[in-house]
């Protein structure tokens, strides 16, 4: 029973699969899509949840979870408030890292690269696809700023709901997407006895991907 165990006694042996340099696909985006499909097929909760780590100009690091909303040849897209703490970091330093943890599959994917804003039209298209309530919420919340009470948030929400009750809700200028353009992608598969498999892809000077095995 986990409840009675001490933290240091929690231990799981990983046995579900393996990864070899020859078995993985040559392009890490294709390999990511394959693993993502498998995470979807396994019906994991929010398989598109990923930890995003950023750092400000002084090298102070912060991390939070965001949702992957698009993955294509450019990289990994998520949406957020352009005035948030993370966006302030990104203004100062575009280098960032992402981590997906698919524990039920004993898998982790780590990605490093640079962040860029997606074109405004792309943010518009995604914003239009969101439920109305989420669209209003994007206007309501001054993300990462201190607020006095939860009620103020609700009052704000209600006022905006009223304002837009008979019209389409435009995308707030301070809300949109970022794409992380990867320079490194690592696939981790848990193996028995802590001898895990790690395959790292690194983008080389010819814009192609080299891959190597790392020690666990």
Ligand X SMILES: Cc1cc2nc3c(=O)[nH]c(=O)nc-3n(C[C@H](O)[C@H](O)[C@H](O)COP(=O)(O)O)c2cc1C
Q: Which residues bind ligand X (CB under 6 A)?
A: 46, 49, 62, 64-67, 78-81, 84-86, 143-144
- State yes or no: is 203 an active-site residue: no
CB of 150 to ligand X, least distance (A): 15
Q: Given the complex with ligand X, which of 33 and 56 has the nearer CB atom?
A: 56
The DSSP secondary-structure symbol of 163 reads H
Q: Is 33 or 51 the residue whose CB approaches ligand X more closely? A: 51
Catalytic site residue from 64, 132, 194, 208: 194
Closest distance of CB 206 from ligand X, Å: 34
DSSP 32: H
Kindly tell me which of 21 and 67 has the beta carbon lying closer to ligand X.
67
User: Hunting for tokens 């986990």 — which residue is that?
Assistant: 2
DSSP 36-104: HHHHHHTT-SSTTEEEEEEE-TT--EEEEEEE--EE-SS-EEEEEETTSHHHHHHHH--EEEEEEEEGG
Shortest Cβ 123–ligand X spacing (Å): 13
Compute CA distances 25 → 144, 198, 204, whole Å: 39, 14, 17
Q: Kindly list the catalytic residues.
A: 194
């Amino acid at each position: 029973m986990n409840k009675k165990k001490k933290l240091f006694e929690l231990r799981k042996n990983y046995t579900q699969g393996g990864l070899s340099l020859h078995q993985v696909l040559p392009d890490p985006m294709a390999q990511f899509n394959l693993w993502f499909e498998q995470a979807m097929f396994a019906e994991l909760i929010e398989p598109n949840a990923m930890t995003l780590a950023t750092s400000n100009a002084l090298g102070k690091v912060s991390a939070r979870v965001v949702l992957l909303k698009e993955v294509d040849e450019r990289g990994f897209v998520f949406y957020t408030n352009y005035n948030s703490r993370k966006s302030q970091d990104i203004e100062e330093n575009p280098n960032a890292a992402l981590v997906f943890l698919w524990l039920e599959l004993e898998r982790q994917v780590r990605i490093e690269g640079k962040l860029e804003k997606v074109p405004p039209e792309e943010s518009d298209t995604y914003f239009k696809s969101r439920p109305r309530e989420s669209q209003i919420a994007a206007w309501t919340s001054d993300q990462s700023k201190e607020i006095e009470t939860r009620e103020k948030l609700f009052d704000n929400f209600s006022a905006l709901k009223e304002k837009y009750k008979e019209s389409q809700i435009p995308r707030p200028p301070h809300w949109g997407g970022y794409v992380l353009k990867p320079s490194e992608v690592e696939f981790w598969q848990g193996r028995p006895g802590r001898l895990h498999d790690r395959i790292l892809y690194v983008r080389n000077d010819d814009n192609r991907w080299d891959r190597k095995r790392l020690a666990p």
